[in-house]
């Protein structure tokens, strides 16, 4: 039995409408899933700031003025006999200053001998790791995978760093462009 032409057209129109609605619903679900994945990714990056000992230490150095810190085991070599480290902005400024650098025998730039002490080298270790982390964030942000509002604790630190001017010369000296771009993106 065949349907009359008007019924056949009606069934075809209903089928097409249902298919279009299904396609729209699938697209909407895909979009929502991608947003959730993006937010989860951002959460994991922010969480790393509080879990990774080196990143957490960099965060604390940025946030605090002069203060005594208990160092994690990884950095115990920079601590005094009580496992403590006396953080000071003046020592951090010296450690990160290009004027504290010299060309080594191997042709690479390194701290001058008078600055190769734990009170300075700890800052270099910690912030080199932190700048690698920020460079990764800039790469993800440049690809549209992250937005500043997803990373508020990190944006807060970047703004503090940028405002202090403490790291600008270091970033320029070592040509750490990703972090420089990130500063411009959020500052």
pLDDT surpasses 80 at 40 = yes
- Given a contact cutoff of 8 angstroms between Cβ atoms, the answer to whether 138 and 179 are in contact is yes
Q: What is the mean pLDDT of residues 22-44?
A: 79
pLDDT surpasses 90 at 147 = no
Domains of the chain, by residue range, sit at 38-186
Task: Give me the percent of the chain exceeding a pLDDT of 70.
Answer: 97
pLDDT surpasses 70 at 1 = no
SS3 state of residue 184: helix
What's the pTM value of the predicted model, to 2 decimals? Answer: 0.82
144: left (phi over 0), alpha (psi -120 to 50) or beta: left
pLDDT surpasses 90 at 148 = no
* pLDDT computed for residue 2 by the predictor: 67
Q: What is the mean pLDDT of residues 43-52?
A: 92
* pLDDT tens sequence across 75-94: 999 999 888 999 999 999 99
Distance CA 106, CA 55 (A): 29
Distance CA 108, CA 146 (A): 34
């Amino acid at each position: 039995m065949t349907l009359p032409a008007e019924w056949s057209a009606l069934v075809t129109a209903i089928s097409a409408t249902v298919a279009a609605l299904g396609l729209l619903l699938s697209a909407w679900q895909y979009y929502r899933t991608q947003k959730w994945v993006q937010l989860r990714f951002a959460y994991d990056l922010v969480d790393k700031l509080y879990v990774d000992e080196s990143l957490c230490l960099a965060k604390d150095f940025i946030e605090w003025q002069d203060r005594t810190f208990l160092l994690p085991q990884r950095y115990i070599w920079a601590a005094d006999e009580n496992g403590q480290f006396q953080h000071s902005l003046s020592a951090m400024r010296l450690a990160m200053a290009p004027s504290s650098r010299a060309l080594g025998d191997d042709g690479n730039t390194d701290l001058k001998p008078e600055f190769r002490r734990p009170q300075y080298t700890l800052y270099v270790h910690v912030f080199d790791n932190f700048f690698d982390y920020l460079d990764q964030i800039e790469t993800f942000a440049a690809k549209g995978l992250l937005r500043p509002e997803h990373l508020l604790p990190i944006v807060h630190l970047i703004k503090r760093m940028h405002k202090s001017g403490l790291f600008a010369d270091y970033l320029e000296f070592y040509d750490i462009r990703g972090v420089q771009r990130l500063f411009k993106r959020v500052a």
